[in-house]
Chain A
Amino acid sequence: MNTLCNKAQQAFSALLFTLILTILLSFQTVSAQPDGAKLFKQNCATCHKLDDTRLTGPGLKDVFKRIPDDEWFLKWVKSNTKLTASGDPYAVKISAFDVSTMNEFGFLADDEINAIGTFLKNPPAPVVGPTGPTGPTGEVHVEKGLDTFWTLVIIIIALIIIIAVLRGVKRSLSNVVNEREGKPANPDRNVWEETKVWMGANKSKVALIIIILLSIGSKMAWDAMFDIGVFTGYKPSQPIAFSHKIHAGDNAINCVYCHSTAEKSRHAGIPSTNICMNCHKGISSGATTGTTEIAKIYEAVGWDPKQMAYNMPQKPIKWNKVHNLPDFVYFSHQQHVVVGKQECQTCHGDVPNMTVAEQVSPLTMRWCIDCHRETEVPGMMANADSTLANPYYEDLHKKLAEKYKGQKITVDKMGGIECAKCHY
């Protein structure tokens, strides 16, 4: 987990660096000319990569060393079918080689296509991410919370040792003094016996201390009981170091792109591996972990990146579930997302900034009910605008508005905290 944190931090800084670099570079190339890099990204990148690996189409590394000339490039991109039909030998050759036909880009202006050509002739240096943890603080990183705790323990132990030593010193010194003064030596009592003697002399103080300790103890026990089964901060490591930050944060992918059933079902759903492949067919290496983590997706889904085909055995990914509700609770995502119009972040926290998914809310019944006591249902709001007004609530709203004159009509007022809403 710690390693992951570290990796993610590294990834972040690497990404930040790359971003800044890109931005700086892009500033340099600002001109009236069409932007080849941008056009390539918009039109070509879904099928072609800049290196020599194949995507839907061939990799375009050193493409201009293969094709006849710029003129051919222009014609081919505009309409490869026309070019092939005209009997151009190279076009015929590559059409025969590849079964899938390239799209036609007749809508691109000549200078735009040329700009792409220019871009392809001088492609940016490929970004190579680190392949493993290399940072100096890599594996011995200790979490702060634990740090203070252990320091405290060590200090306490040290203090106890010091006390014991000092006590011994004190006693021998006092014995020396007594001996010199001819008084009898201090009785050879151990700490426990001495404490007993002190306790015998100070009964009221002892009673007070016991009462205070008991009160503190009970309070702690009581609080601890309420935390049984509450796993706020639960942050299990995952079989694939998936980072929500990179996906939902940096790349701003909508939550429901992957968790698509949140709007259709009670389950938000862990995305099936084929959803990952929508993007990762093309993106085979990441900035932070290079190819190691993405390769795990390929392994799971049986994708052979060399042959660009699903020809390997499938191995389902066993994710560790972060948010666990007991079996006797029926929670419906679609109810909250579609009808209640809740943001995912309301319960799941700032996921776009989480490198490792973490349980933010306690997910206790009290937490549910507290929210239901405060939240208005969009379709039930007194001043709901027409887009939110839900005809389903029409009659109920009329009756409740009459009953709770002027008050907010919250979920609980319409039965949202009744047992059988969640338990059946």
Chain B
Amino acid sequence: MGTTKKYWKGLEELNNDPAFVQAQQNEFAEYVPVEKFLENDSLKDTSTSRRDFLKLFGFSITAATLAACEAPVNKAIPYVMKPEEITPGVANWYASTYFDGNDYCSILVKTREGRPIKIEGNEMSPITRGGVSARIHASVLSLYDTGRITGPYANKAPSTWETVDKEIGAKLSAAVAKGGSIRILSSTIISPSTKQVIADFISKYPNTKHVTYDAVSYAGIIKANAQSFDKAVLPSYSFDKAKVIVSVGADFLGSWLSPIEFTKQYSKTRKLSREKKEMSKHYQFESILSLTGSNADKRFAVKPSQYGTVVVNLYNAVAKLTGGSAVASGALPIDAQIEKVAKALVDHKGRSLVVCGANDIATQVVVNSINTLLGNYGKTVDVETPSYTKQGNDEQFISLVNEMKEGKVGALITYNANPSYTSPAGLGFNEAYAKVGLKVSFADRLDETAMNADYVCPDHHYLESWNDANPKAGHYSLTQPTISPLFAKPRNEGTRCAQETLLKWAGNESDFHSYIQKYWSSHVFPMQGKYMTFGDFWNHSLHNGVVEVGSGEDAKMAMGQDSSNVNASAKPEVAHKTTTVGGGGMFAQEVEVEVKEPKLSVAEAAQSISKSAKAGNIELVLYEKTGMGNGNQANNPWLQEFPDPVSKVTWDNYITMNPEDMKDKYHTLARYNQMEMKADTANVTVGGVTVELPVFPQPGQARGTIGIALGYGRTGAGMVADGVGKNVFTLAQVVNGTIQYTVSDVTVSDKTGNEHQMACTQTHHTMMGRSIVKETDLTTYSTQPVDVWNEKLLVTLGDKHVPASQSNLWADHDKPGHRWGMSIDLNACIGCGACVVSCNAENNVPVVGKEEVRRSREMHWIRIDRYYSSDMTVEKADAEGKGVVDKYLEMENPTTENPQVFFQPVMCQHCNHAPCETVCPVLATNHSSDGLNQMTYNRCVGTRYCANNCPYKVRRFNWFNYIENDKFAEVNPSQNDLGRMVLNPDVVVRSRGVMEKCSMCVQRIQEGKLNAKKAMKKLEDGAIQTACSKSCPADAITFGDLNNVESLVAKEVEDERTYYLLEEVGVKPSISYLTKVRNLDAEDIVMHEEHKPHHGGEEHKEEHKEEHKKEEAHS
């Protein structure tokens, strides 16, 4: 970056005079005899005594203080011409759409004075239904990323659009004249208008072909569907309709396909109430401990090479029960369990769902067959409403790379794709790229691909541009700009919408906004019958953000429209028929598939699976972290500091390995990496590519496997991301024409001798016998009295035992008006952490960087505690006569094979008898009449007594002035003018020496109250939502007024599952939790009881056990 201009201060510098170079190294131009000066004895005789010094010191401080009392002159600069829709101080909301080639989400964007500052979900979307993920919450900060380039680059130097357009135009024409081919390489494009733009471009340059390639490919499923149903599509899944869910290696709540959509659906089946005492049963087979696996009712740790066999054996078991014929397969140690899973599936025919994360055609064909046997098609799986969000075609991409290697590609335009970073090393994309005549990238920064491109034509951020989306058949949505482009003339050359760039090169000068309108008026508008005029239709669609063109005839038309739209761009493919296979989710290509490949029968698929299932000594799984995803937003510090839901590690990727494996096979690595401790590193080698990473002990990781997260190790993302972790996209393998993210042939070295410090936000692993997370199982919950599974804690008051809720050390606060409270359903919460990033954005929570996280100084107001179950219990330890130290040490160690996982969001509990309030010497924290534990920053003097006295450890201290201290310049976005634009102006930015904590989004409470007062009406339940409750994709957090008996939260608190965190300390929190319920098999319940760390009354326990035994006998 930077200019090629040379600046110098003197000729010496210009000529690199040796004396100058030497002098340059010295900080001080002249020799300063500091030591000599200090050694001088005459110093003792000087007249400046200590007293004098102190006097002067005192005087200067007083003088400085008094000088500071001068009133600063503040300027108020109003608009010259105020835009009609802007009222200073009032937020405007716009419906828009997020799609980055990976995640689709219909969103609402909150803007203040023209700046987008917060993203919320759009409840009108039938797909995402108001859910948002951590990544999408964080995307608003990516807009203000300093890593973005502010204008086009030509040959690695800043250039102008005029030059770039002229030169590229000439080169493209030259390429066409020479008969060289032009290729557009993009990630999935779901925008029909963009596809039309590409089609326009292709008609101008007929030698062009559009290749779609996803960083994490789903080509296997698409091809399998082509095999099974003649439809090269991704189906729509309905987890909400499934009673039994089986997932084989698919992290559908964290990263697989459409996690927001699936989380919304999944949590629906997990919610319980007095009226609805049934929930779905979720089985998970996987190697790494994923977010989805952590939430499963029953989880099986299997190696990735066994995924195929698991699927085939499950098929056989289902076939056996449904009268189908079995196919040949290998045996697995868990076959008996698989049969049970099959039984559960068959019992819920048409209300079950089997999904698999393997990007392997044969495996997916068998999965399709299982779902067919179970009659799930048309019920929980819908191929008639295909999803278009993943259209990557690995074979096309691979053949493109081969073409490039042969020097056949005259020009390559990359759009929203970064293959230099995301392609497997084995493909050799970088060498191939060097052979391309004209390399153009639309990247918004000089990323790994763009830094080697001839021209970089930066695209707008999605919040600055128009776009449309067609995520599913019949579903359309619009993206609208919520800010005028940040980098624009006259200060910068500016960014330009990629579609407009392409149109311009194709000789069309129209802007993309009118282009979309034109497209919609001719393609989308005719598909609906609700609005008579296009203007009406457009305005409503833009206002709602989404539009459904209906079912039946409309949908069919829509699908026809989709395909016709793609037809145009797919046409040139006919010439390459030999190299093209299906995929792309496009009907035009289906026909080809049908003609080309013979269909795979289940038996053949099974055969293919057993052939390729070669178990290795150590197998590798490459996975996407919930926060980082495929790394396209890696330069976003909110995401870097977002603790991984399962490992709780920030700012790193690492090798996850089962602690037992570390002990047995790599005993030198058996070291827990916690906080100040260091992790040993090891080398992972796959096909000649070696990556050195720290080893992290991960309970639940399948024995003999390791996992590494994708998305790290960026080199061209920007200040924040570069050098964080290692890139492991290079380790992915191309097998059978698809890119595989599991590798069975891996070598893992012993420890290298290097150490790496990791920053983990949670050091404790289990609850150590305390009832922090209460849990029970569905059978107990639905058949036993509440005391059995949600025992009320008793405290001794005088000579009586009374429930803890009834004892009161202090007089209650009077709460005549509202009483804010929150109920968190631990059964619905999946631990995804969307709330954490949402809270970051809403409350200006500072980013502190890895070093500070290591010192436990992360500032997140809401954390999600993750607990594992332990083999050791208090009872067991006592029985074995273990000492206290040993007991707790062993209790701290989770069950390594397959621990149960608990997630618990913890924020300030807004205690009614808050211990923090009583110890504050300056009354900076105190209680409000509506039940809030208020924190007054301007009064706080930073004694930190409150944090010491908080039983929940939710208070955060500002050790530094994070927004100004140079130490945080690289990580804290608020350090520059651009990053500061994301700050919420309604929440004060805290300075050094101040305590802070969750305020229950008091700014939102105040706003909601004021709106009700102004409207002269009662406050409606749900009118006020905190950032976390609004953004939870699982609807696990309910916020409201406990004094309003009609409110949802008041009803939830009355639920029998309600308990309070550490109720026995008597602080009377305003946040309540709903007991977690697992849908366990009968034999697991007994086991679980033994595992259950805490249980109150002994008598109860005995009773309870016996009942279970009876039940078991009964069944």
Please report A residues at the B interface, Cβ cutoff 8 Å: 228-229, 231, 234, 236, 261, 264-267, 269-275, 300-302, 314-321, 324, 326-328, 330, 332, 334-335, 338-339, 379, 390-396, 399-400, 403, 414-415, 418-421, 423-424
Are the CB atoms of B932 and A273 closer together than 8 Å?
no
Given contacts A269-B88, A420-B932, 17 further A-B contacts (CB under 8 A): A261-B88, A273-B79, A274-B81, A301-B80, A301-B81, A319-B78, A321-B75, A338-B1014, A379-B1013, A391-B1016, A391-B1017, A392-B1016, A396-B817, A415-B928, A423-B937, A423-B938, A424-B988
Closest to B1001 in A: A424
Are the CB atoms of B76 and A270 closer together than 8 Å? yes
Give residues of chain B (975-989) contacting chain A, Cβ–Cβ below 8 Å: 986-989
Chain B residues near A423 (CB, 8 Å)?
A: 934, 936-939, 988
Cα(A394)–Cα(B814), bound, Å: 17
Q: When the two chains form the complex, which single residue of B78, B1002, B1006, B1010 contacts A270, counting CB atoms closer than 8 Å? A: B78
Instruction: Please name all residues of chain A whose beta carbon is closer than 8 Å to the beta carbon of B2 when the two chains form the complex.
Output: none
- Asked if B1002 contacts A273 (CB within 8 A), the reply is no
The stretch from B66-74, B572-580, B669-677, B1106-1114 touching chain A is B66-74
Q: Does B999 contact A (CB under 8 A)?
A: yes
Closest to A396 in B: B817
Check if B928 sits within 8 Å of A418, measured CB to CB: yes
Flag if A267 contacts B817 (CB, 8 Å).
no
Can you report 14 A-B residue pairs in the complex whose CB atoms are below 8 A from each other?
A272-B78, A273-B81, A274-B79, A316-B77, A317-B80, A319-B76, A327-B989, A330-B986, A334-B1010, A392-B1016, A392-B1017, A419-B935, A423-B939, A423-B988
Contacts of A328 in B (CB 8 A): 937-938, 988
Asked whether any CB of chain A lies closer than 8 Å to the CB of B753, the reply is no
Select from chain A the residue with minimum beta-carbon distance to B937: A328
A210 to B926, CA, bound (A): 44
Given the complex, which residues of A lie within 8 Å of B1016, measured CB to CB? 379, 390-392
Whether B1002 and A420, one on each chain, are in contact in the complex, defined by CB atoms closer than 8 angstroms, is: yes
Residues of A within 8 A of B930 (CB): 415
Query: Across the interface, do B1010 and A300 meet the contact criterion of CB distance under 8 Å?
Result: no
A231 CA / B70 CA spacing, docked (Å): 9
B934 (CB) vs chain A CBs: closest residue: A420
- Measured in the bound complex, the distance between the Cα atoms of B1003 and A270 in whole Å is 23
* Shortest Cβ distance from residue B1016 to the other chain A in the assembled complex, whole angstroms: 5
| B937 in contact with A228 (CB, 8 Å) | no
For B88, what are the chain A residues with a Cβ–Cβ distance below 8 Å? 261, 265, 267, 269
Minimum distance in angstroms from B930 CB to a CB of chain A: 7
> B82 in the interface, Cβ–Cβ < 8 Å?
yes
Note all chain B residues with C-beta closer than 8 A to A324: 71-72, 74
Q: A272-B82, A314-B81, A330-B986 given as contacts; is B1013 within 8 A of A418 (CB)? A: no
Count, chain B residues at interface, CB 8 A: 48
Binding site of A, secondary structure by majority: helix, strand, loop or mixed? loop
Known: A319-B75, A415-B928. A272 touches B1010 (CB 8 A): no
Within the complex, what minimum Cβ distance (angstroms) separates A315 from chain B?
8
Contact in complex: B77, A319 (CB < 8 Å): yes
Query: Are A399 and B77 neighbours in the complex by a CB distance under 8 Å?
Result: no
Chain B: minimal CB distance from A350 (Å) = 21
| Interface residue SS majority, chain B | loop
Residue of A nearest to B924 (CB): A419
| Residue with the greatest number of chain A CB neighbours at <10 A, chosen from B930, B1003, B1014 | B1014
- B431: min CB distance to chain A, Å: 53
Cβ–Cβ contact B90 & A264, under 8 A: yes
Q: For residue B90, which residues in chain A have a CB less than 8 angstroms away from its CB?
A: 261, 264-265
For B1013, what are the chain A residues with a Cβ–Cβ distance below 8 Å?
335, 339, 379, 390, 392-393
User: Is the Cβ of B938 less than 8 Å from the Cβ of A318?
Assistant: no
Asked if A302 meets B80 with Cβ closer than 8 Å, knowing A326-B938, A394-B1018, the reply is yes
With A318-B77, A415-B817 in contact, do A266 and B89 touch (Cβ < 8 Å)? Answer: yes
Given A265-B90, A266-B89, A419-B939, the answer on whether A231 and B1010 have CB atoms closer than 8 Å is no
- Set of chain A residues within 8 Å of B938, measured between Cβ atoms: 326, 328, 423
CB distance from A314 to the nearest CB of B (A): 4
A228 to chain B, nearest CB (A): 5
- Are B71 and A231 in contact (CB-based, < 8 A)? yes
> Does B735 lie at the interface of the complex (its beta carbon under 8 Å from any beta carbon of A)?
no
A residues near B936, Cβ cutoff 8 Å: 419-420, 423
Q: A273 with B1010: in contact, given A234-B71, A267-B89, A391-B1017 (CB under 8 Å)?
A: no
Which interface residue of A301, A327, A332, A419 has the most chain B CB atoms within 10 A?
A419
Determine whether the beta carbon of B82 is less than 8 Å from that of A236. Answer: no
Query: Which one of A300, A393, A399 lies within 8 Å of B80 (CB-CB)?
Result: A300
Whether B80 pairs with A272 at a CB distance below 8 angstroms is: yes
Cα distance, A272 to B74, chains bound together (Å): 17
B75 and A420 form a contact (CB under 8 A): no
A392 and B1019 contacting across the interface, CB-CB below 8 Å? yes
Residues of A within 8 A of B1019 (CB): 392
Cα distance A424–B1005 in the bound complex, in angstroms: 11
Interface set, chain B 911-927, CB cutoff 8 A to A = 926
- Bound complex: CA A314 to CA B82 (Å): 12
Complex contacts, B1018 vs chain A, CB 8 Å: 391-392, 394-395
Find out whether the CB atom of A415 lies under 8 angstroms from the CB atom of B929.
yes
Per-position 1/0 for B12-53, Cβ under 8 A of A:
000000000000000000000000000000000000000000
Interchain CA distance A255-B1108 in the complex, whole Å: 75
Set of chain A residues within 8 Å of B76, measured between Cβ atoms = 270, 318-321
CB distance from B902 to the nearest CB of A (A): 32
CA distance A339 to B1009 in the complex (A): 11
B964 to chain A, nearest CB (A): 14
CB distance from B65 to the nearest CB of A (A): 9
Q: How far is the CA of A320 from the CA of B78 in the complex (A)?
A: 11
Is B87 close to A, CB under 8 A? yes
User: CB-defined interface of B1017-1052 with A at 8 Å, one 1/0 digit per residue?
Assistant: 111000000000000000000000000000000000
In the complex, whether B333 has a CB less than 8 A from a CB of chain A is no
For B1016, the closest partner residue in chain A by CB is A390
Q: Which residue of B lies closest to A339 (CB)?
A: B1013
A87 vs B197: C-alpha distance when bound (angstroms): 54
B929 touches A414 (CB 8 A): yes
Mark each residue of chain B from 816 to 837: 1 if its CB lies under 8 Å from any CB of chain A, else 0: 1100000000000000000000
Complex CA–CA separation, A399 to B75 (angstroms)? 45
Closest chain-A Cβ to B817's Cβ sits at a distance in Å of: 5
Please provide the chain B residues from 924 to 961 with a CB less than 8 Å away from any CB of chain A in the complex.
Answer: 926, 928-930, 932, 934-939
In the complex, whether B1065 has a CB less than 8 A from a CB of chain A is: no
Give the residues in chain B near A316, CB-CB below 8 Å.
Answer: 77-80
A225 CB, min distance to chain B CBs, angstroms: 10
Please name all residues of chain A whose beta carbon is closer than 8 Å to the beta carbon of B929 when the two chains form the complex: 414-415, 418
User: Do A335 and B816 form a contact, CB below 8 Å, given A301-B81, A328-B938, A423-B938?
Assistant: no
Within the complex, the shortest CB–CB distance from A322 to chain B, in Å, comes to: 9
Across-interface contacts of A271 in B (CB, < 8 A):
78
Name which of A339, A390, A391, A424 has the most chain B CB atoms within 10 A of its CB: A424
Name the B residues within 8 Å of A321 (CB-CB): 73-76
Q: How far is the CB of B662 from chain A (nearest CB, A)?
A: 47
Give the shortest distance, in Å, between B856 (CB) and chain A (any CB).
25
Would A273 and B80 be within 8 Å (CB), given that A330-B1006, A420-B928, A423-B937 are in contact? Answer: yes
CA distance in complex: A274, B79 (Å): 8
* Docked-complex contact A418 and B934, CB < 8 angstroms: yes
Partner of B1010, one of A332, A379, A391, A424: A332
- Residues of A within 8 Å of B69, CB to CB, are 228-229
Cβ-defined contact, A334 with B78, below 8 A = no
Query: Does B488 interact with chain A (Cβ within 8 Å)?
Result: no
Q: How far is the CA of A275 from the CA of B81 in the complex (A)?
A: 8
Distance to closest chain B CB from A329 (angstroms)? 8
Identity of the chain B residue whose Cβ is nearest the Cβ of A365 in the assembled complex: B938
CA distance A266 to B90 in the complex (A): 8
Q: CB within 8 Å of A: which of B768-819? A: 814, 816-817
Decide if B332 is an interface residue (CB 8 Å cutoff): no
Provide the bound-state CA to CA distance between A396 and B929, in Å: 12
- Which residues of B have CB within 8 Å of A301? 80-81
What B residues does A270 contact at CB under 8 A?
76-78
